[in-house]
Amino acid sequence: MRLIQFLAGAVGLLANVCKAAPSVSVVSNTQLDPEGIFFVSYDGVVNVNSFQLSAVLTYKNYQFAAWYTSTGTAILGRRKLPSGSWSTLQLPHNLSTMDSHNAINLGVSPEDGKIHVALDCHSTSLFYTISEANLATSGNSWVASRFAAITSTLGTLNIGTEITYPQFVITPQNLLQFVFRTGISGDGATQLAEYSAGGWNNVGSWASATGTYTAPDGAVSTLRNLYIHGFTYHGERAYVSGTWREQNAAVSCSPEGLTNHDTIYIYSDDLGRTWFNNASAQVGTSGTSPINVNTAGIIVDSLDADHGLMNQESQTVDSTGLIHIIISYVPGRFTQCVENYETVRPEFARPFHLYQNPNGTFTKVEIPFFIQAVGRSQILMDSEDNVYVILPYVRVVTASKATGWTDWTMVYNGTATALDAFGEVTLDRARVPTGVASVLYQQNSTGTTPSAVKLIDFTLNG
């Protein structure tokens, strides 16, 4: 009897070992700048925001990173992968205002190997520069003179004077695209431009501010903007998930709440020209007929504006082409009205793994750890479709595909290892397919005392 119990126990243990949540191991933790600019605005720091998409970017044999120094000078870093030392150059531009939106974002156009940089905007003109051809791969000396003069247009394309959230996306077809918002928070349009044959062209707006939203209590809002969790290509398909931010604060139960509501999902199979909902019905055309809050069949998780739902968290796509999204909010068991998201989210907000099943339905699973911050988390997957979520302060929690993403375990605790990270981080998404998560973070500080900007590299499940 005892022997049988022992054997059963051993088999159970073995099964657990085989199914253990995927691990990470630290390869390196490199200081890029001992004195990055530090100030907290809109609950964030300017060097590290989840909406940047590409503050750190791998392209072929090189990795690039961007940040502002203590004096606000824009710096671009480059190293040869996997472990070359960093070179830096100073762009002839300084941060214009102490606003955490005004981050630096990087892209590469594969057709000519030019590096693109967009920075320093929040409902203002953007600042943009482009490098000489092939600087992304040539290894030529890393000096600012290899970049063109800074402009407020994308080449000859004038995108206006109310720009926020510039994001570069490299498509599997080797095009560079540019996703951005025009207008303002609560009254903005989401836009797409494309670089080809050496120039930028406008594709147009694919999500507009129009339509009518009625909250459960009857309050009505007639303007908003779509905040996206990402713009992710897998094969021919572009996947977008997001949340709406209403202009009328009355749609939330509290004036200090967040007016974000619902999680939407759309996709495009023609490089962002036409858009489809989860039921494969065409719902939008960029430029002429953008989606809006009243577009049918785009909500994949319903939630009203009373729960402190965060915007611009993160998303990824698995090897079979199904989207996985991280959203976070305060579950109803803690309160049905988040009165002040800045105090209630750090106490009670939880991340949720929201993903599409092969039959098209969406499943939402609460991840059993607190966010412990106002800010956001980053989701990524390894080649075996295991999920890794980097919670604020570089706490890495994982779940295995083998268990249907249920065995959530904290496998790296950046709080315990005293990284002293200021909450939110950004991720080099282009490097993930090589089995490495490069995570940019900045150390916590007080007031405007500068702090270190660092890059920590983890290998995934190995």
Count other C-beta atoms under 10 Å from residue 237's C-beta: 17
C-beta of residue 309 within 8 angstroms of C-beta of residue 327: yes
Phi, psi of 174 (to 5 degrees): 65, 35
* Bridge partners (DSSP) listed for residue 227: 243
Q: Give me the residue label for tokens 């996306």.
A: 169
Q: Which stretch binds ligand NAG (CB under 6 A): 30-38, 231-239, 334-342, 353-361?
A: 353-361
- In the chain, the amino acid numbered 457 is D
Query: Please, which residue, 112 or 420, has the CB nearer to ligand NAG?
Result: 420
- Measured from the CB atom, is 145 or 359 closer to ligand NAG? 359
Q: Which is nearer to ligand NAG, 164 or 241 (CB)?
A: 241
CB-wise, 94 or 202, nearer to ligand NAG? 94
Q: Which of 145, 288, 320, 359 binds ligand NAG (CB under 6 A)?
A: 359
Contacts for 448 with CB less than 8 Å, ≥ 6 apart: 37, 38, 39, 98
Task: List the one residue from 360, 368, 433, 435 that touches ligand NAG (CB under 6 A).
Answer: 360
Under the binding rule (CB under 6 A), the answer on residue 71 touching ligand NAG is: yes
Sheet holding 127-130, edge to edge: 104-109, 114-119, 127-130
DSSP secondary structure code for residue 149 in this structure: P
Residue 287 or 297 having the CB closest to ligand NAG: 297
Give CA–CA dist 119/280, Å, rounded.
36
Region near ligand NAG per CB under 6 A, out of 26-34, 41-49, 178-186, 411-419: 411-419
241, 263 contact by CB (below 8 A): yes
Q: Would you call the peptide bond into 450 cis, given omega within 30 degrees of 0 as the criterion?
A: no
- At closest approach, how far in Å is the CB of 111 from ligand NAG? 30
Per DSSP bridges, beta strands 104-109 and 114-119 are antiparallel
Stretch of residues binding ligand NAG (CB under 6 A), selected from 14-22, 24-32, 88-96, 124-132: 88-96
Of positions 30, 41, 88, 94, contacts ligand NAG by CB under 6 A: 94
Residue 289 touches ligand NAG, criterion: CB under 6 A: no
Instruction: State how far the Cα of 150 lies from the Cα of 198, in Å rounded to an integer.
Output: 17
Could you say whether residue 295 binds ligand NAG (CB under 6 A)? no
406 touches ligand NAG (CB under 6 A):
no
Q: Report the C-alpha gap between 186 and 301 in whole angstroms.
A: 20
Rank residues 334 and 370 by Cβ distance to ligand NAG and give the closer one.
Answer: 370
Span from 22-30, 43-51, 92-100, 155-163 in contact with ligand NAG (CB under 6 A): 92-100
User: Of 186 and 297, which CB lies nearer to ligand NAG in the complex structure?
Assistant: 297
Binding site for ligand NAG (CB under 6 A): 71, 73, 92-94, 278-279, 300, 357, 359-362, 410, 413, 415-416, 444, 446
